[in-house]
Amino acid sequence: MKTKINFVRGLKGMGVVIMITYNKSRVIFDFGAPFEPLTQIYDGTVLVRNKKRVKDSLLLNQAPMIDYIYSKESLDDINLKPAEENPYETAIFISHCHKDHMSEIDKVDSSIPIYLHHLGLKLKQALETIEEEPYYRKYNGFEYNEKIMVGEIEVTPYFSDHACIGSASFLIKTKDCTIVYSGDIRFHALEAKRAWHATKQMSKNEIDLLIVDSTTTSSNEFVYSENEIDSLNLPSKEVLKDMITEQKIIDDIREQLKTHQGIAVFNLYHRDVRMLEYLIKIAKEYNREAVFEPHTAYIINELLNISTNVIFPNNNLKYDFYTEVRKNNKIISKDEVITNPNNYFVQNTYRNILELIDYDGINGVYFHLFGEPLTEEHVHYQIMKNVIDKLKWNFFSFINLYSFSHTYPNQLAYYIQKLNPKAVVAVHSTNPEGLNPVNAKHYLPKENVDYYLLNGQLIEKIEE
């Protein structure tokens, strides 16, 4: 028994970190902090201490406690073995650029390679330039379907259609086991077909263990119902009440813009590059121009390779990248939008919400598209709502992260059935017991414990 698995975290919620070891080779999948929107320490208010950030992060349960990952100097007095003494050939793979999967990667010693899909890497670099992500080290890019060897472990990334550009699932092979880690998955979005195709490719292997995104089991708001689904290319006609598909969001926005007179505003999470692309397209269909804040305009320039319209908010913040943005995009003034509100579809992020006050007296519609604040429980959500109410605008909120970004129970069951693994472990769910795998043994392992994997059996390693 040589293949060892440790579910470092993520067996009871977000912030998945999985470590697989074979002899002196070690691979780690995802490296984010737990997602706690209401109690997150680094919410933009508390400043990161540059020199102590690794120690702070470990003590606050943000970065995972793993030996041989962090440099001796950065560990300070934390009781972990330093990267300088690492006996393993090690690599870290990131399934996508959402914080619960990658927020801690900048703390890893630069001797350990970290891989992201090349588009995810491009996004990461753009986020560093606009100062949304810290820059401390370099990362490597991977391509879908191209194997990477880490010592004796073989890792092949596959396409996944999560709400972030460059999302991946991984097929992992050692000499005695084959494992799939799904990353975050959904099959109700615009590239569902491509995602099912990737699933089919992975299913050609005999899979011992599937570690699967089971977010959908966290929520009892998902109730099966008969519904119209033909257009979505799903294997099952059973869908859920309150489902939010990308197509539905796009159709809902279209429906509003068709007849709306006045200003139209949206607030989105700009790591969802496809949503950026669609908003530009939808605006055009209704004779509007999409206008972006400079941070998002930079991402559009870099990731979509197009120039766009930019509106600069009225504050004292200055960034080096503003020069690039000014050069590469058309600058739209606030006065122009106020004079011709019917011509524009304008981005507004929460921190710039006061910009909306200038549109007082203009008929407006506001689309909250998974931008910050992320949950209705967050105090910022009510503040945002109050401003929109004062303006007497129509407010449309798409906020259910579970149903938008993650697969539904019926699709999840189908996915497991397709991959046909011997064993299954649920991750990314607050209710892993709720997973109902088809013909596979469902394990409920403990976090931070070493397990051997053999013939689809997880056996807890007893310390000698």
The distance from CA 227 to its chain's CA centroid, rounded to whole angstroms, is 28
Among 30, 56, 109, 184, binds Zn ion (CB under 5 A): 184
Sign of CA dihedral 49, 50, 52, 58: positive
By the 8 A CB rule, do 54 and 63 touch? yes
Q: How far apart are CA 93 and CA 444, in angstroms?
A: 23
**161 forms part of the interface with Zn ion (CB under 5 A):** no
Chain positions 87 to 116 lying near Zn ion, rule: CB under 5 A, are: 100
**Cβ 120 to Zn ion, closest distance in Å?**
13
Chain positions 339 to 378 lying near Zn ion, rule: CB under 5 A, are: none
**302 forms part of the interface with Zn ion (CB under 5 A):** no
Q: By CB under 5 A, how many residues form the interface with Zn ion?
A: 2
**Cβ 12 to Zn ion, closest distance in Å?**
14
Q: How far apart are CA 221 and CA 96, in angstroms?
A: 26
Considering beta carbons, is residue 162 or 368 the nearer one to Zn ion? 162
Nearest partner of 394 among 362, 417, 426, 370, judged by Cα: 362
Considering beta carbons, is residue 56 or 184 the nearer one to Zn ion? 184
Considering beta carbons, is residue 257 or 427 the nearer one to Zn ion? 427
Considering beta carbons, is residue 381 or 404 the nearer one to Zn ion? 404
Binding region for Zn ion (CB under 5 A) out of 54-62, 151-159, 184-192, 309-317 = 184-192
**Cβ 15 to Zn ion, closest distance in Å?**
8
**Cβ 157 to Zn ion, closest distance in Å?**
16
Place of tokens 């401390």: 136
Considering beta carbons, is residue 172 or 185 the nearer one to Zn ion? 185
Considering beta carbons, is residue 398 or 404 the nearer one to Zn ion? 404
**272 forms part of the interface with Zn ion (CB under 5 A):** no
Question: Which residues here bind Zn ion, judged by CB under 5 A?
Answer: 100, 184
